[in-house]
Structures are given as structure tokens and as C-alpha cells.
């Protein structure tokens, strides 16, 4: 029943419109039945000579009686137009409110998914496959929306139509009613099984289309290889084969559909024929009037196609349930705790201490063991360590991406776990090694459209990050779009834009997770000098493999296998054997070699 609760969640704010859509639809359907009935009564009792009964009689009297109407048939026409205009109004209202509800539901699902993905934990975000989640956010969402907004309403419409038509028809003639529904079960079941059957064929065709798409994609992306290997003719052969296969699979569906629509149409038409012939026999016997026969014919005619559609909806219902389940899985992913307004929001100065901090992944693999160190406001901490030594994990703990359980991390003496996460991250900025730039302009990437950030602020940040000139060299400068629709930035440019983006937040603590790796040494140095000049009060944490980058730090930690194996200043560390000295020797040797011109 969890799924039911989820559906209710998606309906929020749209219940009134949703119900209104259904109610208006029911009214419209009933009015359409009335309209048909009026035509029947007019044929029978105004033009013909049959005495009307019940409502029909009252109606005729109200409009001046048979004689009057007979000579003023335009009144009947007007009544008909009047009722159908009413029907039209309700039909419109129903469609309008159904659309409002349906699109509102779609928006709710989209927002829920997006919001959840933004607020899920770091561990979840890094464990998912983008393609899989994307499918849930697009095609599964569409399936659920379609079910709620269209199919479910169609189902109700169909049921209302059946119940209402049957009750009217029943009153007029039972035998003809039975005849009118004699073939309906076949029509429903036929649609139900056909659409189940053909959806498998669609899968096959989709696969074939996928193969063909791959051939085109690989060909386009490898065009230079194709040209330099001069394999165009073979590529064309390969493409023709895949396109033919796709075509032939599609043709199989074509044949299936041709049979289905041909046969089912004939059966539907046969159903109408059954009513007509039974009606003729009954009318000849005098059990039904001509007008009522036309009413029956129209009712059955109007019922038959929705009923065929119902078979399809029932066949597709399983799919909607599966899709809903897949969306549910995403929405049940763990959310990052402490992101609401709870927690402390102290003024952060930038004193940081780690005391016996350990961290292990859920599989029990310990990545950090017993880490202790402290740095004061405005100081610089540098970390050197091999890949997998746990240095990135340490930084992720500090910005609250990962929760720590053992030991204590304090910011200005306050336990980090108690600080509000948003507050924490606004004060502790981190530049990731492979930063993600959003497909907006460079300016928007840096300022996030924050009205408090001026162009001067942006330029200051970019000049500290040494990327100002590169940005100005782009044709559109700061308004250059990043990504697919704009320029492709080099790795170094991306890192520098990301640095500017973090600098703009005026954080008290700045963390560089190897985020100068794609920048050449000269620029690296320029950035560090600018930082020292403009952000003297800022506590800085650097991960790097370059001794030149590390050497000026107040404290250098050497990490191996999740432990701090050595610590000290540059001058202290080069005095003793160890990883730091090893790296230093090698790099200075290189530099000497370079200086000497080898």
C-alpha cells in the first residue's frame, strides 16, 4: 500500500482539479447520452406518432406539446444545440481540469525526484548510474503520469458510460441491451492480449533501433578513424545491415497491427450490425421504435471504442505499477541528515581540529584510522599521500559529505556534527579535483545568479584563480556558455573556474582537493600567491603532489593507508627519511636537471 500513499503524495495540491476533471467528464458523458436520447424522442414523438412517456412527455409538454413542436421543428433543433453546448462546456472543463491536474501531478513527481536527488546522501549520489536514474526520471515518470492523468480517467469514463448507457437501454428494451453488449467481452480481451503481445515485439524493434543508433554514433564519433582507415564502404554496408534489421523488425509489428486493427474493426462493426439486425426484428414485432433504435445504435457506437481502449489500459496497468515502483526506489534513497534548519549556526573563524577520527565504509573497509591534527585560523595545512591513502575521505568528512562516527571533529571548538550542514558548507568551501561545471554561462556558474554578487566580485575571484584573461579571450567573455552548447573548457580552465566559484563564497576555510593538478606549475604558483595576498585570514587545506605547492604550508601531513605517518613543516620533513623526502628528492632532481638543460 506504500504505492498508494505515493500516488496520494503525487496528487497533492491537485486533488480538487483531479476530482473536478472526473466529475465534469461524467456530467459531459451523461449529457451526451441525453442528447442522443433527445434525437430519438424527436424522431419518435414529434415527427412520428408515438406517445412519449415519463421525462420525454414532460419535456414535450414544457416546450408546447407535440403539435406546436411539429410545426416549429427549429425549437427541437435549438434544444439539441443547447444541450450539446452544455455538453461542450463540461467537456471543455473536464479536459481543462484534467490537464491542470495531470500536469500538476507530473510537476510534483519531477520536483519530488529532483529535490530528492539534490538532497540524497553523497554516498548514494556516487553509487548510482546516471543512465538508469535518468530513465526513471523520464520514461517511468511519463508512464505514471499517463496512467494517473489519462488512463485512469478513461477507465472511469468507460465505466460511467457503460453503467449509464445500460440503465437507459435497459429501460427501453432488455433484449436489445443484451445484443448490444454481446461482443464487447471479445473486444476487451482482444485488445488486452494484443497489446501485451505486441509490446514484446516493440522491445525487439527498440533493440534493433539501438543497434542501428550505435552504428551511427560510433561512425560519427570515429569519423577520423573511418576516413584514415578508408573504410567508408564497409561502414555503409554495416549501416545498411543494421537499418534493414530494424526495418524488418518494424515490419513485423506492422503486420501485427494490420491484422489487429483490421480484425477488431470488423468485430466492432459486427457488434453494431448485431444491434441493427436485432433492432430490426424487434421493431418489426413492434417492441421498439425507430427513434429508440437510433438511440441504441448511437450508444453502442459511442461505447465500442472506449471499451476497446479499456482493454489496452488494463493491459498496460502492469507497466504503470512497475514504473511507480522504480520511482519509489529513488524517492526512498537515503537523504542527507541535518540539512534542514536544525543544528547550530555559529560564526566560523576557521580553527579546525581532528581527534582520533576513524572512518570505515559500509563494507567494513577502514579508510581512515585514528586521525588527529589541528590548525588555527589563517593557517595552511597541506596533505601528501598516494591514491587511496584516505586524504579525500578526510576532506569529505570535514565538509559533512560523509558522516563520522568515531572520534571528534571540531570547528572553532564546536562539534562538527552539531553544525547545520548548509551553514558549514557556506563557511568551508571545497574545490573538487574534477569539478562539475553546469551548462550555464561562466558568469552564472560563478555567481549562481546571486544578486548580491557584483561583476567586480566575480572579476576579483577569477583574477585570483588566474582565469580572468582566459575568460575574456572567449568571444562572449563571461557570458560564454559552458558545455555542449558552448565552449569546451580545458581541464585546467575548468579547475580554475571552479576555484573562482568557490572563492566567491568568501569562505573561512578553503579546501583544494588536488584541484590544481591540471594547471601548469607557473599558474599554480600565481594562484597560490594571489590567495596568500587576498585571503590571508582564510584557513587553507591543500592536497597536492607537487612539493612546490606544499612547501609553504604551516603543517604538512603525510598519509599512507589511512594513517598519518608523518607530520611537520617542509624543513622538518626533508630532514628525515620518508615519503615526503623521497618525493622531494625526485622532484628537485628533476628541476635541477631541467635547470641544467639535462
Partner 1 sequence: MEEDNREIFNKNIDLKMWKKAIKYLAKYMNHVIGIVIAMIINAATDAALPLFTEYAIDNFIAYKTTEGLGLFIILYVLLLILKGMTIYTFIYLADKLWHLVSHDIRVDGFKKLQELSFSYYDRNATGSLFTRVTSDVGRLTGIISWGLVDMIWAISMIIMMTVYMFMKNVKITLVVLTVIPILAVISVFFQKRILFYSREARRYNSIITGAFSEGIQGATTSKTLVREESHISDFEKKTDDMRTASIKTAVYSGLFFPIVSVLGIIGTSLAIWQGGVMILGEVITVGTLTLFISYTLQFFHPVNDMARIFARFQFSQAAGERIMALLEADIDIKDSDEVIEKYGNITSDMPVPKLKGSIRFENVSFRYKEGEKVLDTFNLSVEPGQCIALVGETGSGKTTIVNLTCRFYEPTEGTIYIDGQDYKTIPLMYIHKNLGYMLQAPHLFSGTIMDNIRYGREDATEEEVINAAKMVEAHDFIMKFENGYNHVISKGGGGISTGQKQLICIARAIVNDPCIFVLDEATSSVDTQTEKAVQRAISKVLHNRTSFVVAHRLSTIREADRILVIDKGKVIEQGSHEELMKLKGHYHNLYTSQFIDDSNKDLFGTPEPLPVED
Tell me which stretch binds partner 1 (CB under 8 A): 176-184, 260-268, 367-375, 455-463: 260-268
- Nearest CB to partner 1, comparing residues 217 and 355: 217
**Subset of 80-119 contacting partner 1 (CB under 8 A):** 80-81, 84-85, 87-89, 91-92, 94-96, 98-100, 102-104, 106-107, 110-111, 113-115, 117-119
- Element (H or E) spanning 555, and its range? strand 555-560
For residue 594, the minimal CB distance to partner 1 (Å) is 4
Q: Total residues contacting partner 1 (rule CB under 8 A)?
A: 158
Tell me which stretch binds partner 1 (CB under 8 A): 123-131, 187-195, 317-325, 408-416: 123-131
For residue 538, the minimal CB distance to partner 1 (Å) is 16
**Subset of 525-554 contacting partner 1 (CB under 8 A):** 545-546
For residue 271, the minimal CB distance to partner 1 (Å) is 10
Cell numbers describing residue 62: 414544457
Confirm or reject binding of residue 565 to partner 1 (CB under 8 A).
no
User: In terms of C-beta density within 10 A (0-12 exposed, 13-18 middle, 19 or more buried), how is residue 503 classed?
Assistant: buried
**Subset of 292-321 contacting partner 1 (CB under 8 A):** 293-294, 297-298
**Subset of 576-595 contacting partner 1 (CB under 8 A):** 582-583, 586-587, 590-591, 594
Cell numbers describing residue 536: 590571508
For residue 356, the minimal CB distance to partner 1 (Å) is 25
Contacts of residue 394, defined as CB under 8 A and 6 or more positions apart, other chains included, come to 354, 357, 368, 371, 383, 559
For residue 1, the minimal CB distance to partner 1 (Å) is 28
**Subset of 183-212 contacting partner 1 (CB under 8 A):** 212
**Subset of 466-525 contacting partner 1 (CB under 8 A):** 484, 490-491, 501-502, 505, 514, 517, 520-522
- Nearest CB to partner 1, comparing residues 83 and 314: 83
Task: Report yes or no: 530 and 466 within 8 Å, Cβ to Cβ.
Answer: yes
For residue 173, the minimal CB distance to partner 1 (Å) is 14
- Nearest CB to partner 1, comparing residues 168 and 205: 205
Interacting residue with partner 1 among 16, 55, 134, 163 (CB under 8 A)? 134
DSSP assignments along 522-553, one per residue:
HHHHHHHHHHHHH-TTSEEEEE-S-HHHHTT-
In Å, how far are 133, 303, 429, 466 from 398, measured between CA atoms? 28, 66, 10, 27
For residue 559, the minimal CB distance to partner 1 (Å) is 11
Tell me which stretch binds partner 1 (CB under 8 A): 132-140, 355-363, 365-373, 529-537: 132-140
Binding mask 432-471 for partner 1 (x = CB under 8 A): xxxxx-xx--------xxx---------------------
- Element (H or E) spanning 355, and its range? strand 352-360
Binding mask 210-249 for partner 1 (x = CB under 8 A): --xxxxxxxxxxxxxxxxxxxxxxxxx--xx--xx-xx--
In Å, how far are 107, 303, 314, 320, 473 from 323, measured between CA atoms? 16, 30, 15, 5, 48
Interacting residue with partner 1 among 9, 254, 342, 356 (CB under 8 A)? 254
**Subset of 370-409 contacting partner 1 (CB under 8 A):** 385-388, 399, 401
For residue 247, the minimal CB distance to partner 1 (Å) is 5
Q: How far apart are CA 595 and CA 257, in angstroms?
A: 77
Task: Tell me the pairing of strands 352-360 and 406-411.
Answer: antiparallel
- Nearest CB to partner 1, comparing residues 180 and 385: 385
Task: Tell me the pairing of strands 380-385 and 539-543.
Answer: parallel
* Distance, CA of 394 to chain centre: 32
For residue 517, the minimal CB distance to partner 1 (Å) is 7
End-to-end CA distance of the chain: 75
Tell me the angle at which helices 232-285 and 184-221 cross, rounded to the nearest 10 degrees: 170
Task: Report yes or no: 257 and 198 within 8 Å, Cβ to Cβ.
Answer: yes
Task: Report yes or no: 558 and 394 within 8 Å, Cβ to Cβ.
Answer: no
Binding mask 145-184 for partner 1 (x = CB under 8 A): ----------------------------------------
Residue matched to cell numbers 503524495: 9
For residue 357, the minimal CB distance to partner 1 (Å) is 20
Task: Report yes or no: 232 and 226 within 8 Å, Cβ to Cβ.
Answer: yes
Contacts of residue 146, defined as CB under 8 A and 6 or more positions apart, other chains included, come to 320
CB-CB neighbours of 251 under 10 Å: 11
Q: How far apart are CA 154 and CA 156, in angstroms?
A: 5
Which has the closest alpha carbon to 302: 168, 466, 392? 168
**Subset of 30-69 contacting partner 1 (CB under 8 A):** 35, 39, 42-43, 46-48
Amino acid at each position: 500500500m506504500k504505492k498508494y500513499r505515493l500516488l496520494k503524495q503525487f496528487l497533492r495540491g491537485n486533488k480538487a482539479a483531479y476530482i473536478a476533471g472526473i466529475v465534469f467528464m461524467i456530467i459531459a458523458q451523461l449529457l451526451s447520452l441525453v442528447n442522443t436520447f433527445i434525437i430519438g424522442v424527436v424522431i419518435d414523438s414529434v415527427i412520428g406518432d408515438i406517445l412519449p412517456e415519463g421525462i420525454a412527455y414532460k419535456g414535450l409538454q414544457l416546450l408546447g406539446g407535440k403539435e406546436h413542436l411539429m410545426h416549429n421543428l427549429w425549437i427541437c433543433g435549438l434544444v439539441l444545440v443547447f444541450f450539446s453546448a452544455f455538453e461542450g462546456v463540461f467537456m471543455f472543463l473536464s479536459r481543462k481540469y484534467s490537464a491542470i491536474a495531470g500536469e500538476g501531478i507530473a510537476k510534483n513527481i519531477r520536483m519530488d525526484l529532483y529535490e530528492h536527488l539534490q538532497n540524497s546522501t553523497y554516498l548514494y549520489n556516487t553509487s548510482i548510474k546516471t543512465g538508469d536514474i535518468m530513465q526513471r526520471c523520464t520514461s517511468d515518470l511519463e508512464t505514471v503520469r499517463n496512467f494517473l492523468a489519462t488512463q485512469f480517467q478513461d477507465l472511469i469514463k468507460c465505466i460511467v458510460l457503460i453503467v449509464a448507457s445500460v440503465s437507459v437501454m435497459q429501460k427501453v428494451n432488455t433484449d436489445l441491451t443484451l445484443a448490444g453488449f454481446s461482443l464487447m467481452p471479445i473486444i476487451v480481451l482482444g485488445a488486452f492480449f494484443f497489446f501485451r503481445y505486441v509490446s514484446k515485439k516493440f522491445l525487439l524493434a527498440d533493440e534493433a533501433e539501438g543497434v542501428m543508433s550505435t552504428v551511427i554514433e560510433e561512425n560519427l564519433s570515429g569519423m577520423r578513424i573511418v576516413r584514415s582507415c578508408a573504410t567508408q564502404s564497409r561502414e555503409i554496408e554495416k549501416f545498411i545491415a543494421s537499418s534493414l534489421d530494424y526495418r524488418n523488425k518494424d515490419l513485423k509489428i506492422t503486420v501485427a497491427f494490420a491484422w489487429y486493427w483490421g480484425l477488431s474493426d470488423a468485430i466492432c462493426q459486427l457488434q453494431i450490425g448485431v444491434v441493427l439486425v436485432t433492432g430490426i426484428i424487434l421493431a418489426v414485432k413492434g417492441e421498439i421504435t425507430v427513434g429508440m433504435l437510433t438511440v441504441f445504435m448511437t450508444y453502442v457506437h459511442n461505447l465500442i471504442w472506449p471499451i476497446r481502449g479499456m482493454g489496452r489500459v488494463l493491459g498496460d496497468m502492469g507497466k504503470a505499477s512497475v514504473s511507480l515502483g522504480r520511482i519509489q526506489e529513488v524517492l526512498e534513497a537515503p537523504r542527507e541528515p541535518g540539512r534542514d534548519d536544525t543544528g547550530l549556526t555559529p560564526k566560523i573563524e576557521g580553527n579546525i581540529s581532528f581527534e582520533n577520527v576513524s572512518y570505515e565504509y559500509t563494507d567494513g573497509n577502514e579508510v581512515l584510522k585514528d586521525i588527529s591534527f589541528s590548525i588555527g585560523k589563517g593557517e595552511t595545512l597541506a596533505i601528501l599521500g598516494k591514491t587511496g591513502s584516505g586524504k579525500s575521505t578526510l576532506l569529505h568528512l570535514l565538509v559533512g559529505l560523509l558522516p563520522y562516527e568515531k572520534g571528534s571533529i571540531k570547528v572553532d571548538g564546536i562539534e562538527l556534527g552539531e553544525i547545520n550542514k548548509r551553514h558549514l558548507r557556506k563557511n568551508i568551501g571545497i574545490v573538487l579535483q574534477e569539478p562539475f561545471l553546469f551548462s550555464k554561462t561562466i558568469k552564472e556558474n560563478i555567481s549562481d545568479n546571486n544578486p548580491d554578487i557584483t561583476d567586480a566580485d566575480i572579476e576579483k575571484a577569477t583574477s585570483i584563480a588566474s582565469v580572468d584573461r582566459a575568460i575574456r579571450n572567449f568571444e562572449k567573455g563571461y557570458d560564454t556558455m559552458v558545455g555542449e552548447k558552448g565552449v569546451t573548457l580545458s581541464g585546467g580552465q575548468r579547475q580554475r573556474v571552479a576555484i573562482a566559484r568557490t572563492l566567491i563564497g568568501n569562505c573561512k576555510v578553503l579546501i583544494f582537493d588536488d584541484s590544481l593538478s591540471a594547471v601548469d606549475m607557473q599558474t599554480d604558483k600565481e594562484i597560490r600567491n594571489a590567495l596568500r595576498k587576498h585571503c590571508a585570514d582564510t584557513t587553507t587545506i591543500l592536497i597536492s603532489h607537487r612539493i612546490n605547492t606544499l612547501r609553504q604550508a604551516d603543517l604538512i601531513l603525510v598519509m599512507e593507508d589511512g594513517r598519518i605517518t608523518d607530520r611537520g613543516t617542509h624543513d622538518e620533513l626533508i630532514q628525515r627519511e620518508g615519503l615526503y623526502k623521497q618525493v622531494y628528492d625526485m622532484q628537485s632532481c628533476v628541476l635541477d636537471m631541467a635547470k641544467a638543460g639535462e
